[in-house]
Amino acid sequence: MSAPYKAAAVQFEPAMFRKEQNIEGLLALVETAVAGGAKLIVTPEMGTTGYCWHDRGEVEPFVEAIPGPTTERFAAVAKARGVHIVVGMPEVDPATELYYNSAVLIGPEGVVGTHRKTHPYISEPKWAASGNLGHRVFETPLGRIAMLICMDIHFIETARLAGLGGADVICHVSNWLAERTPAPYWINRAFENGCYLVEANRWGVERGVQFSGGSCIIAPDASILAIVDGGDDIAFAEIDPAVARARTVWGEPIMAQRRPELYRELMTNTFAWNPVDFFRLYGHRPLPEGRKAAIAVAEFAPGPEGSANLADIARLAEAARTDGAELVVFPQFALTGLGNPAAGAVRLDSLVIKGFADLAVRLGIHLVAGFAERDDGRCFDSAVLAGPEGFVGTYRKIHLTEADKAWASPGEDWAVFDLPFARLGLLLGHDASFPEAGRVLALRGCDIIACPSAVRDRFHQGHEGTSVVQPSPIPTGADPLHWHQYRVRAGENNCWLAFANVHAPMAGYPGLSGIFGPDTFLFPRQEAIVGDNASHVIMTIDTGTLGGTYPTHVVRRKDLVLMRQPHHYTELVAPSKKHE
């Protein structure tokens, strides 16, 4: 086990066509980081050259092989100072003459390894090929280090591969833009994988593009250990590999709780073809006709009596229906109570489940609620879906916490249902801690993911605001819910996500239920969050399309799902391993 050490995230504004000036500037910042005690120093994406290149011809004078003259200059510093440095630069492969957007890890002995950006942003195809080196974790005297480049981290699979590889730290070099930083995606990738993230972002304006700055170091528990806002600067913080090796989320052994045997669909790309055609192929389960519809989430504190809970659910459902809701989602254990799930567990033919189904029939809308289920001597943490036709189906939670295992058996199947206006997938509570879960539902064509929850641990974080001036309407001011894990889950899967959490502040349940939109970079945000003195929130979603035969709405088009690179993801579905 490596000892704790100091890391540095370097923020820098490179200038296009001034490679030597950029290298000198980066070397000076590296020396400053060394003087500050840093042993791992991370610099931004394309920091040696700038980023916004028109084409191969324009960047050609500035590309280099790795190893090469630029890496030799940083290697000299690494050797003299006994440090490791990550440098972002454009690389040429001499064997093919292909160019790559690359990050190279350099240590006292020279080049340790290279990562080529695997998931391109809109600009890379102008000059660079997609990376072909996969997602590796490098063993170093400092511990296990992985590298990702900017757009890579939009995809849950890349950081998960680093986590499965045992990475203590992900060095994320970026030219991030179009939002206030530290970006929620950065925070979520550290948090869901239980590792550190050293984020080196650029700042400034290049060819009219405003970059966001906000370089930082994020702890495995989502805490921002150090941050710089705008300007050339350095964020310093301590990395403790032992904390990352625990590999926990909310104290849960997250990697050991994965269910890779149920993730096989991660190796497919169901949105590579026109999804309208794909999902109706052979007449099997075509997507429902999309349209606008109002949906709601409701929160309350369920007690031990099913009849009382059902009365609360009826009151909230009636209020939501009055507001126009066609679907209402309630918290985990909403029907049977929080205290002792096994003692309160009920069968599907129980009066409380029948009463719930009858309520949906009476109101003529769809309802989702969590309950503890008993079946053939086993108990499950389950959710029930009912609608105008009565009982529709159930879902049994697939990912159990350590406490769950004392009373519940795990579910074995994902649950997807077609409503008149949308395809609906169900998750429960801890399931959403696993990014693979939402991804499988997205690949099955879900427009909406409903997630009844009873979450007490922190899943959100505020932002004090940034001095970096963004074009309207990108927000820059303070935001108490800048990071909300369930907003990230919606955006990364281009789904609407209906998160219904228990609201019982005295028992530690914060509520903060919400409906989150399928595009996290669309401002103002498409979302509604339950606020103070409210018990439900409603919003109109859209699953429709405008004319033609190809979906025009992102929830049906699923851009981020389409841009995945599944051929890199094999390890995600391999049998579970021990992760130290």
Q: What is the DSSP string of 240-252?
A: -HHHHHT-EETTE
pLDDT at 279 over 60: yes
The whole-angstrom separation of Cα 255 and Cα 577 is 8
3-state secondary structure of 18: coil
Residue that wins the pLDDT comparison between 292 and 576: 292
Q: Which amino acid is at 253?
A: P
| Beta-carbon-side half-sphere exposure of residue 532 (alpha carbons within 13 Å) | 0
The pLDDT confidence band at residue 577, using thresholds 50, 70 and 90, is: low
Cα 136 to chain center, whole Å?
A: 20
Catalytic residue, chosen from 13, 45, 179, 192, is 45
Q: Name the segment(s) of the chain with CATH classification 3.60.110.10.
A: 5-246, 293-565
Average pLDDT over residues 552-580: 89
170, burial (CB in 10 Å: exposed 0-12, middle 13-18, buried 19+): buried
Write down the H helix ranges in 471-528: 485-492
| pLDDT tens-digit readout, 198-233 | 999 999 999 999 999 999 999 999 999 999 999 999
pLDDT at position 579 is 47
pLDDT at 580 over 80: no
DSSP annotation of 36 reads T
Q: Is 492 a catalytic residue?
A: no
| pLDDT tens-digit readout, 80-109 | 999 999 999 999 999 999 999 999 999 999
The whole-angstrom separation of Cα 540 and Cα 538 is 7
Q: Is 558 a catalytic residue?
A: no
Nearest CA-CA partner of 451 in 539, 365, 529, 369: 369
104, burial (CB in 10 Å: exposed 0-12, middle 13-18, buried 19+): buried
Catalytic residue, chosen from 13, 150, 179, 446, is 150
pLDDT at position 549 is 82
Q: Give the pair of three-digit tokens for residue 556.
A: 């049906």
Residue pointed to by tokens 């511990």: 143
The whole-angstrom separation of Cα 426 and Cα 411 is 12
User: Given 3.40.50.150, 3.30.450.20, 3.60.110.10, 3.40.50.300, which CATH number is that of 5-246?
Assistant: 3.60.110.10
Count, residues in the chain: 580
pLDDT at 547 over 90: no
Nearest CA-CA partner of 86 in 134, 146, 37, 127: 146
Task: Compute and round to an integer the Cα radius of gyration of the chain.
Answer: 24
Would you say the pTM of this structure is higher than 0.95? yes
Catalytic residue, chosen from 19, 39, 117, 558, is 117
Q: Could you give the angle at which helices 485-492 and 184-193 cross, rounded to 10 degrees?
A: 100
Strands (DSSP E) along 306-349, which ranges?
327-329
3-state secondary structure of 382: strand
Q: What is the CATH number of domain 293-565?
A: 3.60.110.10
Average pLDDT over residues 278-289: 94
Average pLDDT over residues 565-571: 97
The whole-angstrom separation of Cα 445 and Cα 441 is 7
Q: Is 117 a catalytic residue?
A: yes
pLDDT at 1 over 90: no
Q: Which amino acid is at 495?
A: C
